[in-house]
């Protein structure tokens, strides 16, 4: 993708029937930023490989999924109107992002390079931006499979923009910005040039609220915080009651529906739900997961900050997972990669799950961690030898007893 000249991507002229592609790089972002043309690569694939349905991006790659216009200032009214207003920089940055999100989610900007995309895998160290993610959710109606692994921490790559555009320039600042501070000028210029930015969990939640076609979703490469997921989140609540200490009504936690709720069959997700939050917050998340009524496989992964992500206990509202009977009839695989045994009633929980979910055949449990792992293995062995467990409908147990996903046993 870093080849120079007009003939850099002519190889794709011979691949008119191409449906699947994997893009990987053997060099770092620092080496490919100078000459890389992610817009040229996407445009070539769109022109010569119109049947492309599956993309796997692995390693350091500048890869854009949408063509975003680089506009002069007079064509961005809300930017022109903000330039000379006395708005604090933090507030100004938020306003610009809110405007952009609204445009992208409305499908008003962004032309897809891959309008027939069905499967997208964002491998480790990917560089997919917020603008591409939001446009993907709003416009890619055929996308059924999405995997997001950890993105890059590299910052140089975010300075790339479409240098081929006639309106683009990296040195000339509009006269409209002559009186603005240098920081403000940079902010407006970046917005005008449509420089990409890393997506955050708020962007990810917005994506889930508009992308209706998903059936397989793996988000274990990024953590979704309860602040972004739950409306009415209170930063450090001691309780959630009808009224606050000041006599005003407390906000009741709720979660806006995901557009894919009636289609999603596999979900792997990392949720950052602090243990100190009131149980109502855990309960509303369990209830939200239960609204995914066609789910056959659910995996809850731990965050980097803490081992508990969502307490799997009836006391914390786990019953909401099966409220309405949806998942009770569809769920086949359930994995709690949290310190599960210490957070719930152990054997009784497993037996209850077997009763609630007659289709459940595979159950993954983490048994905590010690230096040698022996106490946990003894407890797991005792659990598996229990006659009630032997005779329940669950046929396979994956016992995770270490810090890594691969450190597991299957029975």
> What confidence tens digit (pLDDT) does each residue in 159-206 have?
888 888 877 765 555 655 655 677 777 888 888 888 899 999 999 999
Alpha helices (H) along 230-278:
none
pLDDT digits (tens, 9 = 90+) for 267-277: 999 998 887 88
Per-residue pLDDT band for 247 (boundaries 50, 70, 90) equals: low
DSSP secondary structure string, 41-93? HHHHHHHH-TT--EEEEESS----SEE-----GGG-HHHHHHTTS---HHHHH
Cα–Cα dist 79/189, whole Å: 10
CA 21 to chain centre: 22
CA distances from 66 to 25, 117, 121, 150, 360 (A): 20, 12, 16, 21, 40
* Per-residue pLDDT at 155: 87
For residues 316-323, average pLDDT? 86
pLDDT of amino acid 407: 53
- Distance, in Å, from the CA atom of 99 to the CA atom of 112, rounded to the nearest integer, reads 20
> For the whole prediction, is pTM greater than 0.75?
yes
Please list, in sequence order, all residues whose beta carbon lies within 8 angstroms of the beta carbon of residue 129, skipping any fewer than 6 positions away.
64, 158, 196, 197, 198, 199
Q: pLDDT digit string (tens) for 103-133?
A: 999 988 899 999 999 999 999 888 899 999 9
Q: Are 123 and 63 in contact (CB under 8 A)?
A: no
């Amino acid at each position: 993708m870093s080849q120079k000249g007009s003939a850099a991507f002519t190889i794709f002229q011979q691949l008119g029937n191409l449906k699947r592609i994997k893009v990987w790089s053997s060099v770092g972002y620092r080496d490919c930023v100078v000459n890389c043309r992610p817009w040229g690569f996407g445009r070539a694939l769109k022109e010569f490989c119109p049947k492309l349905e599956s993309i796997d991006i692995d390693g350091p790659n500048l890869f854009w999924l949408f063509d975003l216009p680089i506009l002069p200032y007079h064509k961005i009214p809300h930017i022109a109107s903000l330039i000379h207003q006395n708005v604090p920089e933090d507030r100004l940055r938020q306003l610009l992002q809110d405007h952009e999100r609204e445009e992208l989610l409305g499908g008003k900007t962004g032309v897809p390079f891959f309008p027939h995309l069905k499967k997208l895998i964002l491998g480790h160290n990917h560089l997919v931006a917020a603008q591409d993610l939001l446009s993907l959710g709003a416009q890619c109606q055929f996308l059924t499979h999405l995997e997001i692994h950890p993105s890059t921490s590299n910052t140089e790559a975010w300075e790339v923009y479409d240098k081929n555009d006639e309106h683009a320039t990296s040195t000339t600042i509009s006269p409209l910005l002559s009186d603005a501070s240098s920081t403000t000028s940079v902010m407006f210029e970046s917005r005008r040039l449509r420089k990409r930015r890393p997506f955050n969990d708020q962007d990810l939640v917005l994506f889930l609220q508009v992308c209706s076609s998903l059936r397989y979703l793996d988000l274990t490469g990024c953590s979704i915080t309860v602040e972004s997921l739950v409306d009415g989140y209170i930063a450090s609540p001691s309780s959630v009651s009808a009224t606050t200490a000041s006599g005003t009504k407390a906000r009741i936690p709720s979660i806006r529906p995901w557009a894919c709720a009636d289609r999603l069959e596999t979900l792997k997700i990392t949720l950052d739900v602090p243990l100190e939050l009131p149980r109502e917050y855990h309960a509303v998340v369990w209830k939200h997961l239960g609204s995914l009524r066609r789910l056959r496989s659910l995996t809850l992964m731990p965050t980097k900050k803490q081992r508990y992500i969502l307490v799997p206990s009836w006391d914390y509202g786990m019953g909401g997972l099966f409220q309405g009977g949806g998942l009770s009839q569809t769920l086949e695989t359930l994995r709690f990669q949290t310190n599960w045994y210490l957070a719930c009633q152990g054997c009784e929980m497993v037996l209850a799950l077997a009763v609630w979910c007659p289709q459940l055949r595979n159950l993954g449990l983490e048994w905590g961690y010690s230096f040698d792992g022996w106490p946990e293995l003894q407890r797991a062995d005792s659990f598996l030898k229990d006659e009630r467990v032997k005779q329940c409908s669950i046929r396979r147990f994956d016992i995770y007893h270490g810090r890594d996903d691969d450190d597991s046993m299957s029975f």
